Amino acid sequence: MTYTKLIIEKKEKVCIVSINNPQALNALNSTVLEELDRAFSEIAADDGIAAVILTGAGKAFVAGADISQMSTMNAAQGKAFGEYGAAVFRKIELLDKPVIAAVNGYALGGGCELAMCCDIRIASAKAKFGQPEVGLGITPGFSGTQRLPRIVGPGKAKELIYTAGIIDAAEACRIGLVNKVTEPEALMDEAMEMAAKIASKAPIAVKYSKQAINKGMQTDMDTAISIEADLFGLCFSSEDQKEGMRAFLEKRAPDFKNK
């Protein structure tokens, strides 16, 4: 399938999705959102992909949602735009394959929200993060008010959202918004190294681990432990579990088949 605002590359079991709208600093308009929606549907259906890297072309990861498009919206149109963006980001969050955000520059507004729906965030030392929407007379609209406090805590999230503050990569890492900060030239190598390491593990076990974490974080501890037990048990019905433990006992590298 062809894309006008995305570049899709596959390197063995890793898929790299680059948002390619550099003249607008990769701003999220309806076209970009629709193409992300289609791309992640394709990725979900491709059993040859075990991990995904999401990044931006040019100087920005995503500098925000497209203000020129939003400026003429009424309340109903604004709600529909927010709901669609949130649904696309939720699809990325629930993808049964890990997604790494390689944040190469500005990740503001919708860009910060896009990074937050990924499993892991690696940032260039030049990256900037923030939710500056209240300075434009709106709230974050693509689930930023929900994911940011879950990642950094409600107090810090309220500070960043209420003040429209923008922070650098080092501060983002300090508060837990980012997993790791690298030099700009090393960003994609770091992301690829991590993605390849994930892709070398048993895909079913990685998928179930993601489900256990995501579902467990939204419920009480006893229910979460039960969710984990169910998924742990399901692993034992897979060929990969047999191969992984056999390889360990035979002191060799496993050959996982995603079965």
Catalytic one of 35, 83, 133, 183: 133
Tell me which of 34, 35, 113, 239 is the catalytic residue.
113
**Look-up of token digits 């209240």:** 134
Residues comprising the chain, all counted: 259
Q: What secondary structure letter does DSSP report for 181?
A: E
The domain ranges of the chain are 6-199, 203-249
Q: For the segment 77-87, what is each residue's pLDDT rounded down to a tens digit?
A: 999 999 999 99
pLDDT on residue 23: 87
Global pTM value? 0.94
Residue 93 is a catalytic residue: no
How confident is the prediction along the chain (259 residues), in pLDDT tens digits per residue? Answer: 789 999 999 999 999 999 999 889 999 999 999 999 999 999 999 999 999 999 999 989 999 888 989 999 999 999 999 999 999 999 999 999 999 999 999 999 999 999 999 999 999 999 999 999 999 999 999 999 999 999 999 999 999 999 999 999 999 999 999 999 999 999 999 999 999 999 999 999 999 999 999 999 999 999 999 999 999 999 999 999 999 999 999 999 999 999 9
**How do residues 2-60 score in pLDDT, each as one tens digit?**
899 999 999 999 999 999 998 899 999 999 999 999 999 999 999 999 999 999 999 89
Looking at domain 6-199, its CATH class is alpha beta
171 included as an active-site residue: no
Rounded Cα distance, 128 and 25, in Å: 13
User: In the CATH scheme, what is the code of domain 203-249?
Assistant: 1.10.12.10
Structure confidence at residue 66 (pLDDT): 86
Residue 189 CB-half CA count within 13 A: 5
